Structure 1
Amino acid sequence: MATSTAAKAPLPSGIVSYEDYIAKNKVKAPSNTMDQSAFLTLFTTQLKNQNPLDPVKNEAFVAQLAQFSQLEATSSMKNSMETMVKSLEGDKMLAGAAMIGRRVAVPNGPLILLGGQPVEANVDLATGADGVQMKVFDEKGQLVRKQIFGAQPIGPMRLTWDGYNDNGAAMPDGTYTMQVLASSMGKALQPTVNTLSTVRSVSNAGTGDNTWLLEVDGGKSVNMTDVKRIAY
C-alpha cells in the first residue's frame, strides 16, 4: 500500500512539533531544561494537530518516548553522580575534621620535643639492613644526637629519641628533624622517616580532584592519603 504524502496540518502559532524542537536544539549541549511537563505539552499538541490523512506512525511515537526516557535517565544519572561526588567530598572533610587534635604518623614530619618526653618515629625497611644510623637535628640544622643500631630485619623499625644530645644534656622543647641512614650489602639507603605530629587543621587543596590537606606541627601540610597511622 502506498504511503500518503499529504502535508501535515500546520500547528497553532507559538507551538512547535517535538521533531522541530529537537532539530532546533541539536547543535546545543544536552539540556535539562525540558522537563516531563514540557515534553508532554509538546507531545499532546503534536497528537492534536497531526494530519489525519497521514498520522504519525506508532513507531515514531515509541521512538519519541524512548528518546525522552533516555534523556531523563541521563539527566537523573548526572544528578546522582554530582550528588555522590559532593557526598564523598563531605565525607572526606568530616574524616579530616575528626583528625584535628589527634596525632598522626606522617612521612618526613617534624619531631616535636615537649616536656622532655621521648619522641617516637619509625621507618619501613624495604630490605634487611646490616646497620642503621639515626640522626637528630635542631631547628638550625645542627646535629644534636646520633645513634647506631645493629642489623635489622626487613619491615617496620621503631625509633625513639629520648630528648638528650650526645653529651647527655637535655635538649629544650622545640621542633627537630630526624634522618635515618641504613646500609645493605654495602649499599647506602635512606628510608623515609614517619613521625607523629598533631593535626592542627584540614583544608581542600583546591586542585579539583578532592585532595584534602592536613596541617601538622611545624606548619607542614601533608596529603590526607599519606597518613600512615592515627594515634589513639
Structure 2
Amino acid sequence: MSIESTSFYREMQVENKQREAEKAGKRNEMGKDEFMRLLIAQLEHQDPLEPTDNGEFIAQMAQFSSLEGISNLDATVSGFADSMQSTQALQASTLVGRSVQVLSNVSELREGEVVNGTVDLKESSPDVFVAVYSDSGEYLGDISLGSREPGEVAFEWNGLDTDGEPFPPGAYQFRAFASNGNEHEGVDLYLAQNVASVSLNSGKRGEIMLNISGMSDAIPLRNVKVIN
C-alpha cells in the first residue's frame, strides 16, 4: 500500500473519530450504545498497516465494561429507589386520620381531648413554659415545665382554665419560652396536628408530603417530630 493510501486511512480515522465525538458531545454524556458504535467505527477505519495496539484495545474494552456496569448499577439503584418510594408512600398512608407533631404555633383543641406538644430545648434552662393564646391572640395562661436539661420536652394542655372550666373546642396558639438566666427567649415548638391525606412532592422525587387539617401548606414527612 502506498504512502498516500496510508495517509488516506489515517485521515478517515481522524474524521470519523471527530464526527462521533461531536455527536456524543451534543448529548453531554456518552451511553454504552454510543461507545460501542464509536469503537466499531474506529476498528473499521483503522490503518491496516498500523492497527490499534492490543493494549489500547483492551483498555477501551475495559472502559466499555465499566460503562456497562455503571449503566446497569444505575438501573438497579433507580429501581430500588422506586420500590422504596412505593413502600414509604404505603407506610405514610397509615398516618391518615392520625395525629403527628410538626413545627407549628397553632393546634386544635377537640372536645374531651388534650393538645400534645414537644419543646425542642437546645440548652438547659431553669425555667421553661408554654404560653397559651386564643385563636385571636388573647393570652389565656401558661403551662409550666420547670427546670429542664437540653432535649425534647413533652407536654400536654388539658384545655381547662384556672377554675377548671373547659375552653371551647377550636384552634389555639402556643408559644414556648426558656430562661437563659437573664430573660426568657422563644424556642421551637412542635404541636399535634391531624393528617388529612398523603401526597408526593412533584418538585422533589420521592418526598412524601402530609396534608394537615387546617393548614394550607403540606408538611414533609421528614419534618414530623412525633407520631401520637
Q: What TM-score bracket applies, with the shorter chain setting the length?
A: 0.7 to 0.9
Does structure 1 residue 228 correspond to structure 2 residue 225?
Answer: yes
Deviation, structure 1 residue 164: 2.1
Does structure 1 residue 197 correspond to structure 2 residue 196?
Answer: no
Q: How does 1:53-132 map to 2 (within 5 A)?
A: 54-108=50-104, 110-132=106-128
Deviation, structure 1 residue 166: 4.1
Contact 1:118 1:163 in 2 (8 A): yes
Higher helix share: 2
Higher strand share: 2
Structure 1 length-normalised TM = 0.71
Q: Which amino acid in structure 1 is aligned with residue 226 of structure 2?
A: R
Provide Cα deviations, 1:155-200, integer angstroms capped at 9, x if missing partner.
4333222212345432222221212223231221222222222222
Deviation, structure 1 residue 146: 0.6
Deviation, structure 1 residue 218: 1.8
The answer for the alignment partner of 2:30 in structure 1 is 31
The answer for the alignment partner of 1:181 in structure 2 is 177
Secondary structure class of the residue paired with 1:68: helix
Secondary structure class of the residue paired with 1:213: strand
The answer for the alignment partner of 1:147 in structure 2 is 142
The answer for the alignment partner of 1:46 in structure 2 is 44
Gaps of 5+ in 2: none
Q: CA 1:20/1:185 → structure 2, altered by over 3 Å: closer, same or farther?
A: same
Q: CA 1:38/1:82 → structure 2, altered by over 3 Å: closer, same or farther?
A: same
- Return the alpha-carbon distance in structure 1 between the equivalents of residues 112 and 153 of structure 2: 23
Q: CA 1:162/1:67 → structure 2, altered by over 3 Å: closer, same or farther?
A: closer
- Return the alpha-carbon distance in structure 2 between the equivalents of residues 22 and 91 of structure 1: 47
- Return the alpha-carbon distance in structure 1 between the equivalents of residues 123 and 63 of structure 2: 60
- Return the alpha-carbon distance in structure 2 between the equivalents of residues 150 and 30 of structure 1: 59
Tell me which structure has the larger Cα radius of gyration.
1
Structure 2 length-normalised TM = 0.72
Provide Cα deviations, 1:124-183, integer angstroms capped at 9, x if missing partner.
33333333343222222223x313537312143332222123454322222212122232
Q: Which amino acid in structure 1 is aligned with residue 96 of structure 2?
A: I
Secondary structure class of the residue paired with 2:146: coil
Contact 1:108 1:194 in 2 (8 A): yes
Paired residues, what number? Answer: 219
